[in-house]
Amino acid sequence: MTSDVLSSKELSKIDPVFGQLSFDNHEQIVFCNDKDTGLKAIIGIHNTVLGPALGGTRMWNYNNEWEALNDVLRLSRGMTFKSAITGLNLGGGKAVIIGDAKTQKTPELMRKFGEFVHSLSGKYITAEDVGMTTEDMDTVREVTPYVTGISESKGGAGNPSPITAYGVFMGMKAAAQFKYGSDVLEDKTIFVQGIGHVGEALVEHLTNEGAKVTIADINQERLEEVRSKYDVTIYGGQDIYSERMDIYAPCALGATINDDTIYKLNADIIAGAANNQLADEVKHGKLLKDRNILYAPDFLINAGGIINVYAELENYDRQEIMRKTENIFNTTLEILDRAKANDVTTNSAALSIAKERIETRKREQGK
């Protein structure tokens, strides 16, 4: 509760929503509450110029509501630029459900959440994110058509994570091509942090190519499970950020590149699936550039998932999904070249292309 974090005197100094640091002219923020199911959720709709705001739902045990709000604001903004740069006619949105997905997620809660999504009449379309499964989306589908990422058996495109991982793999290869002059990852030392749905699928691509992969996760069981399947090493040290590596692949939560980690990082390339990897995209983007660490922008290379769920709306097939996702290689190289030519950070080069597309559409719409 707010009162646990701030005294009423302090509270008056902070505007709770529009005054948040992560607020970036979001169009709509919806707070959802249901006493019976215990649902507490926030839906963030950042921008709908290019189309309905599509983005997954994350269920996470946030320490407080500020954290949840901050997360949904950052994530929904990221979706706007992800879809824009990928050339999809979608806006940016995202939802967070406050709670422990392992113990508090019930079909009733998911259906109630679906009713809130439905009340927005398609302005926001949901999908899965951390703490969600394809089956949860099937449950949401019982009460609203405004959901993607549903099972193939129910007419959906299925779990987007393997496609996301393939896109990240393509983006990583493009970054290697740019940095080393070859996209071959064989013998490269790669740390994959977070071996969930996307991380594991990425590990599969990397080990198939002969990369030297080290995995890290807070879940010990997952570590053992993934080690039993692939030729990987489990990270046994104390501080992953101080280790020498060729490529750092953040595939857990965001903001791992921050004031505490950035000066320790000893990698040539950062390329991973996590959303919002840079705690502060301007400051940390610049520091990475100064330190000659090549950052493959997250919203550019982790777009495979959205390409996959977009197929459900546009009715394109698996082949087209793979073609679009493979194209992340070319787009990434273009962005890296552009950043170099203009002497700007890779994040800002990607962002400016995405923003250009939105502005052009706005002009076409006469707005």
Ligand X SMILES: NC(=O)c1ccc[n+]([C@@H]2O[C@H](COP(=O)([O-])OP(=O)(O)OC[C@H]3O[C@@H](n4cnc5c(N)ncnc54)[C@H](O)[C@@H]3O)[C@@H](O)[C@H]2O)c1
Binding status of residue 273 toward ligand X by CB under 6 A: yes
Nearer to ligand X, 217 or 268 (CB): 217
Q: What are the beta bridge partners of residue 248?
A: 191, 270
**Reduced to 3 DSSP states, what percent helix, strand and coil does the chain have, rounded to the nearest 5?**
45, 15, 40
Binding status of residue 161 toward ligand X by CB under 6 A: yes
d(CA 238, CA 250): 17
Whether 289 is catalytic: no
Binding status of residue 222 toward ligand X by CB under 6 A: yes
Radius of gyration of the chain (CA): 20
Options 40, 82, 94, 212, the catalytic residue: 94
The least distance separating ligand X from the CB of residue 277, rounded to whole angstroms, comes to 9
Q: Who's near 86: CB < 8 A, 6+ residues apart?
A: 300, 303, 306, 307, 324, 331
Nearer to ligand X, 279 or 344 (CB): 279
Nearer to ligand X, 52 or 171 (CB): 171
Q: How far is CA 285 from CA 147, 259, 264, 330, 357, in A?
A: 33, 12, 15, 21, 22
Nearer to ligand X, 119 or 327 (CB): 327
Q: Which of 44, 91, 194, 285 binds ligand X (CB under 6 A)?
A: 194
* Cα dihedral across residues 207, 213, 218, 221: positive or negative: positive
d(CA 246, CA 250): 13
Binding status of residue 41 toward ligand X by CB under 6 A: no
Q: How far is CA 180 from CA 125, 177, 301, 340, in A?
A: 40, 6, 18, 15
The least distance separating ligand X from the CB of residue 253, rounded to whole angstroms, comes to 5
Q: Which of 219, 233, 242, 330 binds ligand X (CB under 6 A)?
A: 219
Q: What is the x/- site pattern for ligand X, positions 103-142, by CB under 6 A?
A: --------------------------xx------------
Catalytic sites, residue numbers: 94
Give contact residues for ligand X (rule: CB under 6 A).
129-130, 160-161, 164, 193-199, 216-219, 222, 251-254, 273-275, 302, 305
